Structure 1
Amino acid sequence: MDYLKELEGKRVHDHLDEKTAKPRCIWVPGPLIVGAGPSGLAAAACLKQRGVPSLIIERADCLASLWQHKTYDRLRLHLPKQFCELPLMPFPKNFPTYPTKQQFVSYLKAYADRFNITPVFNKTVVSAEFEQLGSFWRVRTTGLKSEEAEYACKWLIVATGENAESIMPQIEGMNEFGGPILHTSEYKSGDMFSGNSVLVVGCGNSGMEVCLDLCNFSARPSLVVRDSVHVLPQEMLGRSTFGLSMWLLKWLPMRLVDQFLLLMSHLMLGDTAQVGLDRPKPGPLELKNKSGKTPVLDVGTLAKIKTGQIKVFKAIKRFRHHAVEFVDGKVENFDAIILATGYKSNVPSWLKESDMFSEKDGLPRESFPNGWKGGCGLYAVGFTKRGLLGTSFDARKIAEDIELRWKAEASHLTAFPRAPPPPQL
């Protein structure tokens, strides 16, 4: 028996049942989207363009909470704006080539307004599982005051992204250090570290840029470089390195484009290995394609490393009291530690499904461009390791796919736009 059809046409339960204390239940006629970041907004906009309504639920109190609450003040988009716009709406023409954090957030707010996207905030998903008997998704949430709610839907879109949770490595002796140890998600500005010796752990774009910011506020930063890393100029030949790479790939194989990028980088930046930044054997594009590891686009940090304003160290062996011992035996004193150790997906903690997403890293098992669709009406947007270009691809494909299914049920769903959830099975 199709429980959803049996229950359509009845009123939704908008409050807790006083006798049974069951959570309020909400039937979502269209897709339910988990996450109100750029990925969730893009999916909702593409669906709306095709006449499919959706509902976004978000654990934070605002759109794009990572951008608004967990990024440093000096952050700008690392790629030119034309590669970072969401579907159906370009950036304002008066925005610079590399928009600031504040400008990007204002763009996202304008995007939500344009497509009349109104997420339900402060809803943390506790679990989402597919009910085989009724062929629907049951999504349980909790709110600010621990109030529970339950959503039922035929289509579930996971838009929580690759950066849902901070990665906090456990290193021997961390409890002995005695000074502040914080993740870059808590870092705002080098102002609070002026005059201090600060160790930044991680040499990706965030770690490199935080080091530069610390220099600008008269701190004494050092950088832990555990692995090899590609450092490229942000621009080459008057064009963005990323844009130039995309153009060259239209005409040349990836191997030749990588050789060109490395040659230009050597001419413009010199031999980075001489300052402790060894390059991986695979070229920057090949490495990105295979592992998702993004090359660093230098915005001035390398020059500070060359002049000694930023010291480079190998991997950490252990922490001591206001000091760090490195694997090569060196011991240095530091006042604070900043962990630029990245983020991870949190999907395995709440999605009770293991076919589409890997339990190991929380990413779709199928690589781009095939990771956007799973079974039983499950979709993923923003897990491509290809930034906002990948997000736009996912959002368009998802909207196109759901539209076909929506149209098949359109007359029925329009007649009964809201229905209570299926009974407890």
Structure 2
Amino acid sequence: MESWGEIEGKRVHDPSLNLFRHHPSDHYCKPMKAATVCKAGRCVWVPGPVIVGAGPSGLAVAACLKEKGVPSVVLERSHCIASLWQLKTYDRLHLHLPKKYCELPLMAFPSHFPKYPTKEQFVAYLEAYASRFDVRPVFGHTVVSAEYDERIRLWRVRTSWGADQEDGVEYVSRWLVAATGENAEAVVPDIDGMGDFNGTIMHTSLYKSGHMFEGKKVLVVGCGNSGMEVCLDLSNHNARPCIVARDSVHILPREMLGFSTFGLSMWLLKWLPMRTVDSFLLLASRLMLGDTARFGLRRPHLGPLELKSLYGKTPVLDVGTLAKIKSGDIKVRPAIKRLTGHGAEFVDGRLEDFDAIVLATGYKSNVPSWLKEREFFSEKDGLPRKPFPNGWKGKQGLFAVGLTRRGLMGASVDARRIAYDIEQCWKAEAKQPSTL
């Protein structure tokens, strides 16, 4: 098995040599000519799983596997781990949940980190995590397709890399783990008149700080956690933000009764039905925040936990934005009817000028763009068809981590299950007699 060549400093199987693999139905290792297995000019045989994505989810799976003695290869299209956090988030971002709910398996946050770490602290934690478990992703390799080959019963994962993105390598493995996350690609809505607007339009993936918008009037489209935080940041930098609240939204205080709202909810769910907990959260929120509908922020008919469970819609945890809305420093606007050269027309007939527009319209999975499989993953949203906690395992060695709308806690649960499942196959195959 250790017949490897070197290409650009990476271990690559020599196509002139035999390639060996195990399969649970085999009673011995079957040698196959590499030319039979590899279609690309350069081919890598991976004894363990191929993990696509070096964000928190991919690192968690690789670490859990390493702890069990199972090797893996992590492919990452960017030049760094956690590229979303490092390259596509705004400066003021903190973890929305307390750090104890955001830890990856096998390693806690440093004790001196605050309750809600900054993005820089979270990235430092991830880098220390990768170093501790010796996870070394293959950077700059974009997965263009991954397909299960029934003939050889292995996954073919084809990548492109380099400046021209034309050269590529094919990775061949028994297992494939999709870890590209729910936030792989920015969602940019098609708003009528978008091409007519003369000012700046940017997605939050490009927004860093409100400093560049000082003194300007900015329309933020989207009232989720990101939209609310961007508005707060703009206001703190002396901009004049307005936020579009097209849909209803639950706004909850980040903490209640001295506890994090999330942690309190998890504790109450151990003893009470979800709807009872929802009723408590809404009552406490009404007492602490007032009636948000008075400011144009209608609440959904379903409670926050039920809405999250059924549709994956996360409630907003307020970090100060609502006070700015109440004071009038941040204005709330209804849905946009169309954009104009200098601003926007809203569905209530109001016309208003803006210097810039920030699209806080979220992200989506990119799995359907590269994975040639439609039974386990939904082609519509790129997420597993089975809800949490059953969305981690497909067929023929296919797995998903961090794609069931349960955040870092869900990703950690997925990672542990995937590592255990692969370990069982790994150990079973190691016990099989070999005739080679």
2:273 matched residue in structure 1:
253
- SS of the aligned residue for 1:93 comes to coil
2:136 matched residue in structure 1:
118
Letter in 1 for 2:73: L
Aligned pair 1:77/2:95, yes or no? Answer: yes
**Where in structure 2 are the equivalents of 1:209-224 lying within 5 Å?**
209-224=229-244
Aligned pair 1:140/2:158, yes or no? Answer: yes
**Where in structure 2 are the equivalents of 1:396-407 lying within 5 Å?**
396-407=416-427
Structure 1 residue 14, shift from structure 2 partner: 3.7
TM-score by length of 2: 0.91
1:300 alignment partner, one of 301, 317, 320: 320
TM-score by length of 1: 0.93
- SS of the aligned residue for 2:205 comes to helix
Structure 1 residue 397, shift from structure 2 partner: 0.5
Per chain length, whose mean CA-contact separation is higher, i.e. which structure has more relative contact order (CA < 8 Å, sep 6+)?
A: 1
Structure 1 residue 199, shift from structure 2 partner: 0.2
Structure 1 residue 51, shift from structure 2 partner: 1.2
**Where in structure 2 are the equivalents of 1:80-159 lying within 5 Å?**
80-145=98-163, 146=165, 147-159=167-179
1:29–1:413: 8 Å Cα contact kept in structure 2? no
2:40–2:170: 8 Å Cα contact kept in structure 1? no
Letter in 1 for 2:305: L
Structure 1 residue 210, shift from structure 2 partner: 0.2
Letter in 1 for 2:64: C
Question: How many angstroms apart in 2 are the aligned matches of 1:357 and 1:349?
Answer: 11
Letter in 2 for 1:249: L
Question: How many angstroms apart in 2 are the aligned matches of 1:154 and 1:131?
Answer: 10
- SS of the aligned residue for 1:27 comes to strand
Question: How many angstroms apart in 1 are the aligned matches of 2:407 and 2:100?
Answer: 12
Question: How many angstroms apart in 1 are the aligned matches of 2:96 and 2:334?
Answer: 26
Residue deviations 1:211-266 (CA, integer Å, cap 9, x gap) = 00000000000000000000000000001000000011111111111011000000
Letter in 1 for 2:51: I
- SS of the aligned residue for 1:130 comes to strand
**Where in structure 2 are the equivalents of 1:381-400 lying within 5 Å?**
381-400=401-420
Residue deviations 1:304-327 (CA, integer Å, cap 9, x gap) = 101111110111111001110011
Structure 1 residue 117, shift from structure 2 partner: 0.5
1:211–1:310: 8 Å Cα contact kept in structure 2? yes
1:408 matched residue in structure 2:
428
Question: How many angstroms apart in 2 are the aligned matches of 1:262 and 1:171?
Answer: 33
1:12–1:25: 8 Å Cα contact kept in structure 2? no
Aligned pair 1:30/2:30, yes or no? Answer: no
Query: Could you tell me the percent identity over the aligned residues?
Result: 67
**Where in structure 2 are the equivalents of 1:192-231 lying within 5 Å?**
192-231=212-251
- SS of the aligned residue for 1:222 comes to strand
CA RMSD of aligned residues (A): 2.0
2:308 matched residue in structure 1:
288
Describe the shift of the 1:92–1:10 C-alpha distance in structure 2 as closer, same or farther (beyond 3 A). closer
2:61 matched residue in structure 1:
43
2:256 alignment partner, one of 215, 222, 236: 236
1:14–1:26: 8 Å Cα contact kept in structure 2? no
Residue range with higher mean Cα deviation, 20-29 or 102-111: 20-29
- SS of the aligned residue for 1:242 comes to helix
Residue deviations 1:12-58 (CA, integer Å, cap 9, x gap) = 5748999x995311000001100000000000111111111111010
Question: How many angstroms apart in 2 are the aligned matches of 1:289 and 1:42?
Answer: 24
